[in-house]
Structures are given as structure tokens and as C-alpha cells.
Amino acid sequence: MRQPATIKDVAQRAGCGVATVSRVLNNTGPASAEMRRRVLAAVEVLDFQFSEVGRSLQSNTTRTIGCVVPSLANPVYADAVQGAQEAFQRAGYQTLLVCTNYNPEIEFQAIRTLIAKQVDGFVLTVSDAETSEGLAYIENRQVPYCLLFNTAPGDQISWSVADHSAAKTVADAFAENKHNDTGFLALKFQSSDRARQRYEGFVAGCAQNGMIKPALLEIDEDSQNLTDLLGMFLQENPDITGIFASNDFLALATIRSARALALEVPGDLSIIGFDGIEVGSMVEPSLATIVTDPKMLGAGAGKSVLSVINQTPPPDFPDPDLSFSFRAGGSLAPLFAESSDDGKVASFPPSNDLTQTDTHIQQERSK
């Protein structure tokens, strides 16, 4: 039992040729009842299982799909991978996971390796879809793939939030609450086409609402000194009353930093986040944000690759403009309503019903 049994062992024990064993076990081609019985018996006693490696070599197919994302530390990607993995599992495919840490070099290497391993397809979030070497390599090799969270430059499909128009919605929300001077806060701005899209959409939305062009605060590392950076930023742009953070974690951290600077949220500074992670609605004040459904997107992207692999009709692609929804929250309050004592109570979370309605819509989309 050291070395696992091979099809030859089974054939020998059943007293037949390997071809027969293969036919019986795969239900391909004819076999007598007697043979069937003997083969099955042999399989039983030897605890035989096909080697997928041998199979793959012969069939030129691995039933494995590569999944490339920046990091699982970000729950958005974690959820998306979860969704994709479930889709693959249901279809009998395995998931080969790589985290690139937002590093294009690692991304490229990983893709090369996965192709060498002969994955049947890819679901991936590259750092920049227009320039990604890895993506070019995949296209050149003609391996099926589906983008996730990237804004596809060409005619490829991509399961992603409509970053640009979602960011516009954020601008609208600020405008409705009479904010005029705002800032945009982003991590990894250089290496992420997502962050850039959001910034551009936000700038466009602000312009459309007749607001001042938002100032940009770009931070490098994981916000150790976010408080200092925020302080400097607000000193340079003293009239800012609202900040759009490019993800919810950053938004929560910003709230914390604002407090450390003795600023009240939303009294002195309103904050809007992006992603709609669950805890955003558990904190006080609750976080105003763009709600997305990463798991649904991951599952969609997964089904998309599967459909091109198996030549089946692709899954319904959600209307990009419905891929997100705005969730009101206590971290965003109208400007000039800033009485210091009672205002806090007045600006508390609006109807939680709204929240639930919105997420419900998202859920329905995923069916």
C-alpha cells in the first residue's frame, strides 16, 4: 500500500487488459457483466483511484483553474475567491490559488507557472489590465480566462463593479449633503487600475455637481501613520469637509485617525467608504459606503470561464450600473448641520431598512 495502485494492478488482479479496466471505470465502451464485477472487485480491494496526472497527460486537460488575486487579507478578494471556488467545485474543477501582493512581477511569474501546470482556465484580478504582461501571455497562449474587478480595456468581459460610475454616485451623495470641498484617499494608487478608476469617476462626478476638484491623498504602506498623513493633508486642504476612501477598511481607519486628531465624524468631517463590508454597519457611526457583492462577482467570473471552457452559453452578465448600490450611514451628514452636542444624535444612522433593501437587491442579482 506504499505505492498507490495503478490501472495495471487492477487489470492484473481482475485478469484482463488495462483497456477493459478503463472502459469499465469510465463507462465508455462495452464490457460484460462478469468483467464489470471482477474489475469493480479489484478496485475495491486495491482501493484504486485514477491518477489525475496520467489522465491529464493523455487528455490534455487538468480540470484545474488558476485563480490569481492580489491578496486574501482584503475581504473583498477573499469573498470573491470563495465564490469562484464554489462555482468550480460544483463543476468538478479544482482551484489553484495565487496571491500576487499587488506585484506585477509575481503576477507574471505566477501566470507562467500556472500555464506550465496546464490550468484549463483563469480567473484573475491583475494590477493593470492594460499593461499586464501576464494577461498578454495568457491571450497569446489562448487559455480561456475571465477578468475580475479589472476594467477590461478591450472587448473582454470582466466581472467587476462599475468603479467609475460608483464613484460618481459618491460624488452625488456628497453633493446632496451640500459638501463642496472633498478629498480622495487611496492605497496602492499607482499599481491599481481600480483605485484610478474610482478617482477619475469621483473627479468627474464632482465636476458634474459643480464641486471643487477633490484633492488626492495617496498612502503607501498599511496606514501605520495614517493619522499624521491625514493631519498634514487636512492642513494643506483646510476646507475639506468630506473624504472618499477607496475602501471600507481605509474609511474605518480614517474615522479613527480623525478622532485622534480631535475631529468629529460626521460633525467635522464626513466619510464615505467603498465595498460595503459587513462591519461597516456594525460600527457607530455606521459607515456610508458603496455596497458591492464580491462573492457574486467571483462566482460569476468563475461561471464565465467554465462556460468558455465547456462551450456552453455564458452566464447572464449583470448590468454594470446595478453592480453596486449606495448605503447611507452615520458617517455622512449634511454640511452646516454641525451643532456640537445634539447634532450627534440627529445624524445617527438612517433607517436600517434602507440598508437591508439594498443588500437584498444585490442578493437577488446573484441568482
Partner DNA sequence: CCTCCCAGTGGAAACGTTTCCACTTTTGTA
Partner DNA sequence: TACAAAAGTGGAAACGTTTCCACTGGGAGG
> Which residues lie near a second copy (CB under 8 A)?
1-2, 4, 49-54, 56-57, 62, 64, 67, 71-73, 75, 78-79, 81-82, 85-86, 89, 94-99, 106, 110, 112-118, 140-142, 249, 252-253, 255-256, 278-279, 282-284, 295
Write the CA distances from 309 to 129, 154, 366, integer angstroms.
Answer: 21, 20, 21
- 214 or 273, CB closer to a second copy? 273
User: Which partner, a second copy, DNA, none, binds residue 359 by CB below 5 to 8 Å per kind?
Assistant: none
- 205 or 302, CB closer to a second copy? 302
Q: Cβ 252 to DNA, closest distance in Å?
A: 49
Q: Cβ 3 to DNA, closest distance in Å?
A: 6
Count the site residues for DNA by CB under 7 A: 32
Q: Is the CB of residue 245 less than 8 Å from the CB of residue 214? A: no
How many Å apart are CA 349 and CA 344, to the nearest integer? 10
146 three-state secondary structure: strand
Q: Cβ 112 to a second copy, closest distance in Å?
A: 7
Q: Cβ 49 to DNA, closest distance in Å?
A: 7
User: Which sign does the torsion angle of CA 251, 219, 246, 71 carry?
Assistant: negative
Write the CA distances from 168 to 175, 206, 290, 341, integer angstroms.
Answer: 10, 7, 11, 32
Provide DSSP, 67-123: EEES-SSSHHHHHHHHHHHHHHHHTT-EEEEEE-TT-HHHHHHHHHHHHHTT-SEEE
Residues 33 to 92: which contact DNA by CB under 7 A?
Answer: 34-35, 48-51, 53-55, 57-60
How many Å apart are CA 37 and CA 223, to the nearest integer? 65
User: Which partner, DNA, a second copy, none, binds residue 20 by CB below 5 to 8 Å per kind?
Assistant: DNA
User: Which partner, a second copy, DNA, none, binds residue 311 by CB below 5 to 8 Å per kind?
Assistant: none
Q: Cβ 27 to a second copy, closest distance in Å?
A: 18
Question: What residue spans of the chain are helical by DSSP H?
Answer: 7-14, 18-26, 33-46, 52-59, 75-90, 104-116, 133-141, 163-176, 193-208, 226-236, 248-260, 294-309, 343-346, 352-365
User: Which partner, a second copy, DNA, none, binds residue 15 by CB below 5 to 8 Å per kind?
Assistant: DNA
* Greatest alpha-carbon span in the chain: 90
Q: Cβ 306 to a second copy, closest distance in Å?
A: 17
| From 25-33, 63-71, 183-191, 333-341, span contacting DNA (CB under 7 A) | 25-33
How many Å apart are CA 40 and CA 24, to the nearest integer? 8
How many Å apart are CA 97 and CA 230, to the nearest integer? 36
113 sits near DNA (criterion: CB under 7 A) = no
Q: Cβ 47 to DNA, closest distance in Å?
A: 12
With 0-12 CB in 10 A as exposed, 13-18 as middle and 19+ as buried, what is 160? buried
- 27 or 340, CB closer to DNA? 27
- 40 or 97, CB closer to a second copy? 97
Q: Cβ 181 to a second copy, closest distance in Å?
A: 26
- 54 or 239, CB closer to DNA? 54
Residues that bind DNA (CB under 7 A): 3, 6-8, 15-20, 22-23, 25-26, 28-32, 34-35, 48-51, 53-55, 57-60
